[in-house]
Structure formats: structure tokens, C-alpha cells
Amino acid sequence: MSSTDTGRAIDAVWRIESARLIGGLARLVRDVGLAEDLAQDALVAALEQWPQEGIPDNPGAWLMGTAKHRTIDTLRRRRLAERKHDQLGRELERSLAEPDIDAELDDQIGDDLLSLLFATCHPVLSTEARAALTLRLFGGLSISEIARAFLVREATISQRVVRAKRTLAEAKVPLAVPQGQELAGRLGSVLEVIYLIFNEGYAATAGDDWMRPGLCEDALRVGRILSQLLPDEPEVHGLLALMEIQASRSRARIGAHGRPVLLLDQDRSRWDRVLIRRGLAALARAEELGIGLGVYSLQAAIAACHAQALTAAETDWLRIVALYDALAQLAPSPVVELNRAVAVSMAYGPDAGLDLVDALGGEPTLSGYHLLPSVRADLLARLGRSAEARAELERAAAMTQNGRERELLRERAARLS
């Protein structure tokens, strides 16, 4: 195997094993920051040794064994006098003497992964810090990869990650899976972070790319892991269903030269039917588990209406309106109302939709939201009010930070001239 192939293999192994490795080490050393440092030491050792010695049969066990050795060395170097650290060192030495290091963690791997995920998504951290730390520790991404994904400087991401780990340590956030009511409360933060990552990949807020598929894939991977670790939580399956179905459209959302293609204009034969089936199965599971559909499950049900329509004309807009009605009751927000207005316009005509959109014109939270004038422009154009529609499209183009979307909005405005 060439050095390039070995490097790629190590990168793939790290993406798969990093969360498991850091989670297991965090349980042992009770510190997320130290656990990541030790895992990185093991990665460096792999980069040094595997190109010469070959990739071991069980790379995960090799990394864990190496990390445990580094843990003992670190504790000894620091000469920690506290009895708990001495005891920890003895426990680690005993675990190294066991014949199968990897098997030692197998019974607890699910708890380790969940503990790590709940730590990285802890509400004590800002939303931005939660997203960066989750991608770093749970997704196996480098600082530079996260910086490129969110279009910020590497130094900014590095500071977020460092501060987040320090905050977790200072707040003494336990590395444990919440139980009972605490689990229900904390799960919302975890789902929020996963969907934030997915959305940034699905509809990039800034930059020159309409989508960043890598972020969608990272969020999907974490969502799939979470659904296996928490199989009885309906909203976990609801979020997974939503992401699977939305991701199924990815190929059809980008046209020639990276140009955006809007939902009603997409070639539905390019939608990924495997992802749609996975999404519908996850939605069915959420419906089985829940008394009623939650926020993510309702959005997944809306996405399913689009996925099950072979053409845009066959879309069940009446059902979508009903689902938005339920969503507005469960989680009222101006953005939900704007999306509902679109559905109402498709079900009952542009006049009905425009009345609802105009009612949102004074919403402070939508004052800089470019989709408000964009939606209004669509409705005005359908009513034959081209000059007003063109002005709204120009206003939306001035608001968006995404270069591709700006081009699309200006082209649509030009066509109305």
C-alpha cells in the first residue's frame, strides 16, 4: 500500500473510531479535553508507525491500547499525588495486561458515545461552540475542515473548541448519559445541534456554494448513530427521517456549474430513492413510538409529502397545510408561518398566501430574513404584479449572504423585466 493510500486509510479509520476512542478515554480520565489530547497522541503514533508496519487488523483496538499507554505516561509525568489519580493509573495498567483491550470497552461503548455527544451538546455552551465541538470530537473533523465548512477563520474555530472544553471542565459537566426528565430536556439540545449542522450543509448561509454535502453527511452519520443508541426516542427517529428525506434531493438541488435548483423545478428522477425509503421507515418508527408527532417528525411528514409525489403537480398541499397548522401549534415561529403561507398559496391560491405573508411584514425576527421578500416575490409574480415582484427579488438578493442564491434571485428579477 502506498503512503498516500495508507494516509487515506488512517483518515477513514479516524473518522470511524475517533468518537468511540475519545468517549472511552473520557470515561477513564473524566476530562473531555484530556481525552481528545490522548486520542490525538494515538493518531500521531498511527501516522508514524502504520506506513512502515502496515495497518493493524483491529485499528480501533490499536488506537485504544496506544492511548491508554499515553494516559499512564501522562499521569506519571505530572506526578499527580491525589489518590484517585493513582488509583486510575493502577486501573489502566491492569487493563493493559488484559488480552483483549478492545473488548474491555465493548459493553460500555454505547454509553461512552452518548456521554460524549451529550457533553459536546451541553446547553452550557453556545450554539456555535456546540456545533464546532460536536464536529471535532464526534465527527472526527479537523479544525481546518470545520473552519472551511462554516466559512470562518481556523483561529476562530480553534478558540471555540478550546473555550468549549474549558467551559465543560469548569462547569464540571458530568460525562454521563442523562436519565429520566433530564434526558428529555437535554436531548433537545443534541437534536438542535445535529440539525443545525445538517442545515448549514443543505442550505449554506454564506459563501459561494449552494450546498456543503460534507456537513449533511456528518449530521446524518451522527443522527444514525443516535437512533441506534436511543432506539425508543421518537424525535430522534423524526429528525433522522427529516434529514434522510431532505438529503435525498441533494443531487437534484444543484444544476450546471453549481447553480441552485428550487424544489418545484427539480428533476425528481434524480432524488435518491434509497434515502427516501430510509426516511419513511424512520418516520414510521417515530409514529409508532410517539403519542403524537413532535417538531422534527412533523417536518419529516411534510418532507415525506414532497418525496411521495412523483411530480410537483401531484403534491398533497392540503395535507402539508394541515401539518404546518400542527407545527405552528407545537412550535410557533414566524419562519413556520412563512412556510405555512407558501403551502396555503399552493393549496388555495396566491392571494390567500400573500395575505399571510403581508401579515408577517412587521415581524422583527424576519426583518433581515431574505426568504420573506423572496416568497412575497413569488406570490406577486403569480398574480401578474411583475414590477413589485422584481423589486422584492432585488431586495432579497441584497439580503442573502450566499453568492449562488444571490445570482439566482437576480436572474429571476431580470426575467421579470
What tens digit of pLDDT does each residue of 224-259 get? 989 998 999 999 999 999 999 999 999 999 988 888
Cα 121 to Cα 135, 167, 215, distances in angstroms: 10, 12, 17
Model confidence at 104, in pLDDT bands (50, 70, 90)? Answer: very low
Query: What residues contact 8, with CB distance under 8 A and at least 6 apart?
Result: none
Model confidence at 106, in pLDDT bands (50, 70, 90)? Answer: very low
Beta bridge partners of 260: 254
For strands 401-402 and 206-207, give the pairing: parallel
3-state secondary structure the chain: CCHHHHHHHHHHHHHHHHHHHHHHHHHHHCCHHHHHHHHHHHHHHHHHHHHHHCCCCCHHHHHHHHHHHHHHHHHHHHCCCCHHHHHHHHHHHHHHHCCCHHHHHHCCHHHHHHHHHHHHCCCCCCHHHHHHHHHHHHCCCCHHHHHHHHCCCHHHHHHHHHHHHHHHHHCCCCCCCCCHHHHHHHHHHHHHHHHHHHHHHHCCCEECCCCCHHHHHHHHHHHHHHHHHCCCCHHHHHHHHHHHHHHCCHHHHECHHHCECCHHHCCHHHCCHHHHHHHHHHHHHHHHHCCCCCHHHHHHHHHHHHHCCCCHHHCCHHHHHHHHHHHHHHCCCHHHHHHHHHHHHHHHCHHHHHHHHHHCCCCHHHCCCCHHHHHHHHHHHHCCCHHHHHHHHHHHHHHCEEHHHHHHHHHHHHHCC
**Hey, what's the cell of 388?**
413589485
377: pLDDT strictly greater than 80: yes
Compute the distance between CA of residue 268 and CA of residue 62 in angstroms, rounded to an integer: 45
**Hey, what's the cell of 279?**
426516511
Compute the distance between CA of residue 122 and CA of residue 144 in angstroms, rounded to an integer: 23
Quick one: which of 403, 398, 405, 357 has its CA closest to 377? 357
65-74, 257-266, 330-339, 368-377: range with lowest mean pLDDT: 65-74
1: pLDDT strictly greater than 70: no
284: pLDDT strictly greater than 70: yes
CA 404 remoteness from chain centre: 22
Q: Span 118-125, mean pLDDT?
A: 90
**Hey, what's the cell of 372?**
420573506
Q: Span 371-396, mean pLDDT?
A: 96
Q: State the pTM of this model.
A: 0.79
Residue type, 307: A
263: pLDDT strictly greater than 90: yes
Q: Torsion over CA of 146, 102, 60 and 191, rounded to 10 degrees?
A: -30
